[in-house]
Structures are given as structure tokens and as C-alpha cells.
Amino acid sequence: MTPIAFAVFNRNFKFKIALVLAILHFPAIHAQAAPRQATDAEIKSCRFVSWVSGDSGYGKNNDWKGIAKQEALRNAEKLGGSDVVWERFIPIGSFKGMVDGKVYDCGQTANSQASTIN
């Protein structure tokens, strides 16, 4: 193979590999919407699913609550919940922390009334 032909083949091969990796990186489209934050009043007619928690991980994160909430919401989605009511925010130092909440299955009507995360 000549150097020019090899360069073209190599570039196309790298492009195809990058394309496959990019496609695999995107999560599958879910029919269920991501769980939302709710208040006690919004989940009166909902079914309790489980407790859920999330943490901000290691490092100095000024928005540790937001990071911990996102992890907890991902966990709630895996459990099939539609809404999360936050119960505790536990700071661990100034830049880390954990959140605990209750996961509920409220169906579509109650879920539309829940607030989105800030």
C-alpha cells in the first residue's frame, strides 16, 4: 500500500471508529421521563418506591448539592420512580455532601405538577 493510500485508509478508519464511539456514548432514548423534584403535597396520591441517595463525589465542588441531586435522580430513574422528595442534605466539609430522598411513582398526571430541579 502506498503512503497516500494508507493515509486515506487510516483517516477513514479513525473516522468510523470515532463515529461508532460517539453513537455508543449517547444513552438510549427512554420512554419514561426523568424523575422530578416534588414536595410532600404533590405526592399525596403516589406510590412509595424506595429511598434514594446521591453524593457529590470527591473534589472541591461549589455546587455539591446539585451534583448529589443529579446522581440521586439518576438512581431514582433506574428504580422507575417519577418523583423525588428530598429529605436530607448532608454537607461533608465545605465542598462535598450527600442527599437523601424518597422516590415515588406518581404516574403522568402527578408528575406534570412536580417542579424541575434548579
Q: Is the pTM of this model over 0.75?
A: no
Q: Which of 41, 106, 43, 101 is nearest to 72 (CA)?
A: 101
Task: Convert the pLDDT of each residue in 12-44 to its tens digit.
Answer: 666 665 545 555 555 444 456 789 999 999 999
Task: Convert the pLDDT of each residue in 78-87 to its tens digit.
Answer: 999 999 999 9
3-state secondary structure of 7: helix
* 112/98 Cα distance (integer angstroms): 27
Residue 23 lies in a domain: no
Kindly report the CATH number assigned to the domain that includes residue 58.
Answer: 3.30.110.70
- Counting Cβ atoms within 10 Å, is residue 44 exposed (0-12), middle (13-18) or buried (19+)? exposed
| Unique residue bearing C-alpha cell 427512554 | 30
CA distances from 71 to 1, 8, 52 (A): 50, 43, 9
Q: Looking at the DSSP assignment, which residues form a beta bridge with residue 36?
A: 83
Residue 56 DSSP class: -
Residue 104 lies in a domain: yes
Residue 22 lies in a domain: no
Residue 8 lies in a domain: no
Residue 19 lies in a domain: no
Cell of 74: 439518576
Number of domains in the chain: 1
